[in-house]
């Protein structure tokens, strides 16, 4: 029997117990499933009243690429911040690679996100996150994210 507890149906308040992102930079509506140390699945509904739409192509409200990367990342964070020793800790980007945007994400769309943790060691998480609309891949990114509190324990003195 496994000692890993699968987390299901986490809303914004529960998600914020695990990660430190807050409005206006909190971009996940729900985590449908998180398997600590392995994967996470969540979504974001982009509505026209998002703070960034009026300034980003008024005639064609498109989600900016940096918002998509941050949204994908916030689901990815749930793959390792759900481990008990990481709950609520700060994180920081080390690397964002191979970000691909295959089609525009516009207001009124739900972005479903699947994140996979390839490795986690000494406060460094590596993996990828993929966004889907209606089952079709629209964006993806490879990430390396640090948990500074843990990473600092392994740095030379």
Q: So which residues are the catalytic ones?
A: 56
The CA distance from 76 to 74, in Å, is: 5
Strands 92-101 and 124-133: unpaired
DSSP secondary structure string for all residues of 65-88 = HHHHHHHHHHHHHTTTTTSGGGTT
Q: How far apart are CA 63 and CA 16, in angstroms?
A: 23
| Chain centroid to CA 60 | 25
Q: Is the preceding omega at residue 41 within 30 degrees of 0, hence cis?
A: no
């Amino acid at each position: 029997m496994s000692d890993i507890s699968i987390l299901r149906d986490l809303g914004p308040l529960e998600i914020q117990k695990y990660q430190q992102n807050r409005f206006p930079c909190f971009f996940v509506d729900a985590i449908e499933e998180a398997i600590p140390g392995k994967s996470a699945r969540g979504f974001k509904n982009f509505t026209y009243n998002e703070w960034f739409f009026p300034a980003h192509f008024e005639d064609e409200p498109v989600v900016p690429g940096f918002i998509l990367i941050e949204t994908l990342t916030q689901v990815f964070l749930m793959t390792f911040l759900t481990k008990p020793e990481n709950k609520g800790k700060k994180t920081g980007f080390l690397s964002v690679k191979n970000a691909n945007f295959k089609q525009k994400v516009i207001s009124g769309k739900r972005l479903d996100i699947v994140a996979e943790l390839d490795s986690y060691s000494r406060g460094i998480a590596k993996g990828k996150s993929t966004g889907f609309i209606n089952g079709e891949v629209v964006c993806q990114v490879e990430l390396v994210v640090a948990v500074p509190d843990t990473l600092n324990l392994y740095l030379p003195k």
